[in-house]
């Protein structure tokens, strides 16, 4: 029995590949920017590249008070963006497996598990990024903005759901191979 593969997977794979390439270019450009800024700096404060989502925007430019804060923030930013790219890569690989294989494949379970672990990492990396960034607010704004570390961010819930889905795919693969061996 041939599985019915939706027609929208081909354009979705194309869009996903394009998003991955644009993301790679963006991470490379941000890396160059983060390297060039301290070189061109005159020893003063270093601007932090704050990437926020959910419509949240700071009206104040953040600047690192020490070179150590700048390095930590820059490394956290690059790791967070790279893990996001890894999520896109894993999603693309999983879609390719769904598009080409009949039934369940081992790579499907592994791809979903990789997406889950990257979501798990993104949840905590984003919090660390916000903490380091907001720690560098000007002193007069510390009373207006506070940061609370969430033990279980929403990405962790999504990651746990994906891990359950991954285990279900593993079990389905086991059932499929058992069925094929008995027939």
**DSSP result, 120-161:** HHHHHHHHHHHHHHHHTS-GGGTTT------SS-HHHHHHHH
31 in a structural domain: yes
103 in a structural domain: yes
Q: Higher-confidence residue: 80 or 138?
A: 80
For residue 75, the model assigns a pLDDT of 94
Q: State how far the Cα of 8 lies from the Cα of 164, in Å rounded to an integer.
A: 25
1 in a structural domain: no
Give me the mean pLDDT over the 151-166 stretch: 91
Output the CA–CA distances (angstroms, integers) from residue 84 to 20, 30, 68, 145, in the order listed.
10, 14, 24, 27
3 in a structural domain: no
Structural domain boundaries, residue 68: 9-182
Q: What is the crossing angle of helices 154-182 and 106-135, to 10°?
A: 170
For residue 89, the model assigns a pLDDT of 93
Q: Higher-confidence residue: 1 or 155?
A: 155
Output the CA–CA distances (angstroms, integers) from residue 73 to 65, 106, 153, in the order listed.
11, 37, 20
Total number of domains constituting the chain: 1
| pTM, rounded to two decimals | 0.82
170 in a structural domain: yes
29 in a structural domain: yes
4 in a structural domain: no
pLDDT-derived band of residue 32, with 50, 70 and 90 as boundaries? very high
pLDDT-derived band of residue 102, with 50, 70 and 90 as boundaries? low
Instruction: State pLDDT tens for residues 36-85.
Output: 888 887 767 788 877 766 656 666 777 887 888 889 999 999 999 999 99
2 in a structural domain: no
Q: What does the DSSP assignment read for 73-129?
A: HHHHHHHHHHHHHHHHHHHHHHHHHHHH-SS--HHHHHHHHHHHHHHHHHHHHHHHH
């Amino acid at each position: 029995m041939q599985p019915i593969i939706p027609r929208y997977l081909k354009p979705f794979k194309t869009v996903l590949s394009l998003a991955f390439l644009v993301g790679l270019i963006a991470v490379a450009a941000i890396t160059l920017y983060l390297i060039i800024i301290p070189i061109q700096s005159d020893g003063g404060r270093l601007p932090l590249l704050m990437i926020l989502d959910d419509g949240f925007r700071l009206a104040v430019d953040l600047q690192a008070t020490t070179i150590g804060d700048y390095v930590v923030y820059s490394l956290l930013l690059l790791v967070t963006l790279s893990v996001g790219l890894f999520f896109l890569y894993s999603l693309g690989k999983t879609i390719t497996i769904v598009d080409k294989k009949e039934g369940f494949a081992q790579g499907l379970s592994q791809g979903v598990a990789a997406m889950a672990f990257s979501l798990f990492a993104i949840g905590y990396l984003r919090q660390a990024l916000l903490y380091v960034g907001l720690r560098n607010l000007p002193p007069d704004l510390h009373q207006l903005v506070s940061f609370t570390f969430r033990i279980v961010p929403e990405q962790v819930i999504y990651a746990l759901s994906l891990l359950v889905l991954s285990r279900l795919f593993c079990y389905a693969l086991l059932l499929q191979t058992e069925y094929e061996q008995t027939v």
